[in-house]
Amino acid sequence: MASQETAGHKYVYDFAEGNKELKDLLGGKGANLAEMTNLGLPVPPGFTITTEACQAYLATGAEPAGLGEQIASHLAALEAGMGKRLGDPHDPLLVSVRSGAKFSMPGMMETVLNVGLNDESVHGLARQASGINSGGGTNSASGTDSADAAGADRFAWDSYRRLIQMFGKTVCNVPGEEFEHALDAAKRAKGTANDLDLDGTDLRALVEAYKKIFAKHTGRDFPQEPREQLDLAIRAVFESWNAERAVLYRRQERIPADLGTAVNVVAMVFGNLGPDSGTGVAFTRDPASGAQGIYGDYLANAQGEDVVAGIRNTVPLQELEQLDKRSYDELLGIMARLEEHYLDLCDIEFTIERGKLWMLQTRVGKRTAAAAFVIAGQLVDEGLIDLDEALHRVNGAQLAQLMFPRFKLDHEFQPVAKGIGASPGAAFGKVVFTSARAVELAAEGEQVILVRRETNPDDLNGMIAAQGILTSRGGKTSHAAVVARGMGKTCVSGADELDIDVPGRMFTVAGQIVREGDTVSIDGTTGKVYLGEVPVMPSEVVQYFEGNLDPAETDDVLVKAVHRIMGHADAKRRLAVRTNADTGTDAARARRFGAEGIGLCRTEHMFLGDRRELVERLILARTEEERETALAALLPLQRADFVEIFREMDGLPVTVRLIDPPLHEFLPPLEQLAVNVAVAQERGEDVAKEEALLAAVRRMHESNPMLGLRGVRLGLVIPGLFAMQVRAIVEAAVECAQQGGTPKPEIMVPLVGAVQELETVRAEAEKIIAEVTRGCGVEVLIGTMIEVPRAALTAGQIAEAAQFFSFGTNDLTQMGWGFSRDDVEGAFFWRYLELGIFGISPFESIDRDGVGRLVRIAAEEGRAARPELKLGVCGEHGGDPESVHFFHEVGLDYVSCSPFRVPVARLEAGRAAIETAGSDSR
């Protein structure tokens, strides 16, 4: 900072000195005004005060040395160019003082217009407006006949009152409503509701009233000295960087807090000088659909703020052709020029002052997800950009948006509650409160929404049967959210306005009672909940990925664009993309979506439903014989599961993880069992089995089950369990191979923290593999998850016993941070996000500095010990766009994610490859 404060540092740039690459220094608006100036487009003259000046001001509370002088000399140049002096009583130059940060923060910071007006120059402005002084400057281009003296007088006093109002509010914190009240009072006195009915005399009186309000709140008169007005306005724009709403916006949009804003000082041009003046916005293509054409709005005889205030209705931009053909044609020419120059959709703000067109702003315009793909594709067709650039301009979040069905919300549907959009999509159905009922109704062909306080593994069947899941508790990594995302099923979690009464089969929301069987609609993107059935439209992009829409045949421009860009991403990416799938159906869908194998097949889901009883028998076994019988009963069922999956993924690697969760998760909850036993005893019934179960549940109870007897520890403690699973996997592979398939099984051991654990499991597994394969050509890899911090830190040792690592970043995040993934999001993440401790949940996007460092260390040390070690990730982060870039950088071989996120991961892996300089080919 010190060097910037030396008098020699350049803090002010004339528009002619900048260009569009200087956004860091000049902000987006300043850089683009400079670019347009240098293109020779009609930009009102002006200069930009840099973000560095703002940073220095915010750090010290004072303008950096030299800034005042630099402003003076640029102002002098501006005055010379315009042939007017700022605030000259006879022929004033007026300027606007506008904020403009590197990233657009619409409406978050301040702007002051008409700086330079005072009790004297207001008369000079009236003379200018009536044409008396129209020798040069901004209003020289057209005739001087359009404003009569009364109109000019009105215009000048209206401009002055706008200055006092904006300056008072923005620079001196005068409560805005006081000005509004005075304006309303003036209109009431005149018997009108329309600002335009106030004449010069009314507005002059209003200026007096405004000045009194100003003096009352600030203890001083409204500053008459133009340069003082300018300096105070610049200072206010600097300070607006730290206004509460700006701080909040930055946090939400993840814009760094230390960038600061630039300030643009621009000669005023007026769109409110009569019917031959006006203001408008324009887009070079439709920002909603991407379609080519002229899109925009125009408002005659108005300033930009009138458009925002919505006082009068704008007309479609095309109507400008009738109103002012010359300006319209010029604008169209400029729009074409800007697109050619920026090679992208531009949005534009312009003003026409008495028939003379002025460009006030342009930037590469925001657009919907669909428009992003369509426009990128069009620009490639037009030869303006190449496919790398097209890929760079779209992202996974946009693709994800396009993959979910949407509500058609053009009706008068109002949400009754808002939770967390936990798994996107739009679903409606009859409310049910238990999984059993969900399954029952679904079997009868009904669409249902499963409503729970929170879900648990027991709800799996209900979740599968339901169209969507709605919970009143839990965040984005709650069981409901994670499982629903995995299934691609719509879920709203944490809708805490819902008061759910499960036994009563009803919930109350917004004073209404919703009973089982009533219909609700849930939007998993916005988290909104509606009563009744909101119509849903399917996603054409999913139809395409499913193979139901041929991009060569369809007229759908979006599908064509997605197809083309995905193809390029696949050609460029180094990371392979696998899927997390536990069923043949999921595996098949993921394959259609482009998955190149399974990175995580969780086997615990295979122990639920009607197999639960067999698991109970295993847990309760008192003799070796009983245990072996239970395992023997499970073996063929498991084998059949794996055969189905290997078939769907034939020729591609399938990583099967041995059972991970604590076994008591497969038994009924302790409280429920205790009650059942007590009630049955009371009735004198035979409770021997329930008592045995209860005793087992008590025995296995853990205070911290996630840190308890699970993962590899189970395999080492429960004899035969892992062996049964290994046998089932290998037998399934052999069966597939014998039928002509090419199964590629990979056995993965969960929760390893020490190489000895892995070595023990591996020794047993290798024996089974040798025995079952008997040289039939099926190769089985053995590897481990890296999901315990100790495993990451001893990866060099563990790699000696592992053919692959798969990072379980869910557990690694849980254990790295030391917080429970099932509990914390609802409990305190909101506060952490508010305080900026993290910008996004580390369960959603990888924490690069902490958990990411563990991944990096393990990848490096693992590869150093075993260069051919295969590295992948199968935690939720494998489908998160930001995290995919990180895994690319760290050098993993693949990411694995839920089937619906496979296309997103493919796209982002492609983007990561083109964005990382020097990335090599796969």
Q: What positions carry a catalytic annotation? A: 479, 874
The site partner of 809 among Mg ion, ligand PEP, none (C-beta below 5 to 8 Å per kind) is ligand PEP
The site partner of 600 among Mg ion, ligand PEP, none (C-beta below 5 to 8 Å per kind) is ligand PEP
Q: Which is nearer to ligand PEP, 178 or 660 (CB)?
A: 660
Q: Is residue 46 part of an annotated ligand binding site?
A: no
Pull the structure tokens for residue 564.
């083309």
* Rounded (10°) CA dihedral 912, 914, 919, 922: 80
Q: Considering the rule CB under 6 A, would residue 746 count as an interface residue with ligand PEP?
A: no
Q: Considering the rule CB under 6 A, would residue 808 count as an interface residue with ligand PEP?
A: yes
Instruction: Choose the stretch contacting ligand PEP; rule: CB under 6 A; options: 32-40, 212-220, 307-315, 807-815.
Output: 807-815
Q: Is 637 exposed, middle or buried (0-12, 13-18, 19+ CB in 10 A)?
A: middle
Q: Considering the rule CB under 6 A, would residue 494 count as an interface residue with ligand PEP?
A: no
Q: Considering the rule CB under 6 A, would residue 810 count as an interface residue with ligand PEP?
A: yes
3 close to 9: Cβ distance less than 8 angstroms: yes
Q: Is residue 809 part of an annotated ligand binding site?
A: yes
Quick one: residue 220, left, alpha or beta (phi over 0 = left, psi -120 to 50 = alpha)?
beta
> Shortest approach of ligand PEP to residue 56 CB, angstroms?
45
Q: Is residue 471 part of an annotated ligand binding site?
A: no
Cβ-based neighbour number of residue 259 at 10 Å: 18
Q: Considering the rule CB under 5 A, would residue 808 count as an interface residue with Mg ion?
A: yes
Q: Considering the rule CB under 6 A, would residue 168 count as an interface residue with ligand PEP?
A: no
Q: Which residue has the tokens 């460092």?
A: 853
Q: Considering the rule CB under 5 A, would residue 604 count as an interface residue with Mg ion?
A: no
Cβ-based neighbour number of residue 395 at 10 Å: 18
Cα–Cα distance for residue pair 311/887, rounded to 1 Å: 51
895 close to 823: Cβ distance less than 8 angstroms: no
Q: Considering the rule CB under 6 A, would residue 822 count as an interface residue with ligand PEP?
A: no
Q: Considering the rule CB under 6 A, would residue 660 count as an interface residue with ligand PEP?
A: yes
Q: Which is nearer to Mg ion, 324 or 787 (CB)?
A: 787
Q: Considering the rule CB under 6 A, would residue 425 count as an interface residue with ligand PEP?
A: no
Please tell me the count of residues contacting ligand PEP according to CB under 6 A.
10
Q: Is residue 285 part of an annotated ligand binding site?
A: no
Cα–Cα distances in Å, from 662 out to 706, 708, 717, 796?
Answer: 8, 7, 12, 28
Q: Where in 853-912 is the site for ligand PEP (CB under 6 A)? A: 874-875
Sign of the dihedral through C-alpha 314, 318, 324, 326: positive
Written as one string, the DSSP assignment of 294-348 is EEEEEEES--HHHHHHTSS--EEGGGHHHH-HHHHHHHHHHHHHHHHHHSS-EEE
Cα–Cα distance for residue pair 596/603, rounded to 1 Å: 20
Cα–Cα distance for residue pair 919/914, rounded to 1 Å: 7
> Shortest approach of Mg ion to residue 54 CB, angstroms?
46
> Shortest approach of Mg ion to residue 708 CB, angstroms?
13
Q: Which is nearer to ligand PEP, 231 or 787 (CB)?
A: 787
Cα–Cα distance for residue pair 41/137, rounded to 1 Å: 16
> Shortest approach of ligand PEP to residue 426 CB, angstroms?
27
The site partner of 874 among Mg ion, ligand PEP, none (C-beta below 5 to 8 Å per kind) is ligand PEP
- Per-residue binding string, ligand PEP, 764-803, x by CB under 6 A, is -----------------------x----------------
Q: Which is nearer to Mg ion, 353 or 787 (CB)?
A: 787
> Shortest approach of ligand PEP to residue 96 CB, angstroms?
53
Q: Considering the rule CB under 5 A, would residue 811 count as an interface residue with Mg ion?
A: yes
Q: Considering the rule CB under 6 A, would residue 811 count as an interface residue with ligand PEP?
A: yes
Cα–Cα distance for residue pair 878/806, rounded to 1 Å: 11
Q: Considering the rule CB under 6 A, would residue 600 count as an interface residue with ligand PEP?
A: yes
Q: SS3 for 64?
A: coil
Cα–Cα distance for residue pair 408/405, rounded to 1 Å: 10
Instruction: Choose the stretch contacting ligand PEP; rule: CB under 6 A; options: 112-120, 129-137, 408-416, 804-812.
Output: 804-812
DSSP-derived pairing of the beta strands 95-101 and 468-471: unpaired
Q: Considering the rule CB under 5 A, would residue 822 count as an interface residue with Mg ion?
A: no
Cβ-based neighbour number of residue 21 at 10 Å: 11
Q: Where in 73-112 is the site for Mg ion (CB under 5 A)? A: none
Q: State the binding site for Mg(2+).
A: 787, 811
Q: Residues in the site for ligand PEP, rule: CB under 6 A?
A: 600, 602, 660, 787, 808-811, 874-875
The annotated binding site is made up of 602, 657, 787, 808-811
Residues lying near Mg ion in the complex (CB under 5 A): 787, 808, 811
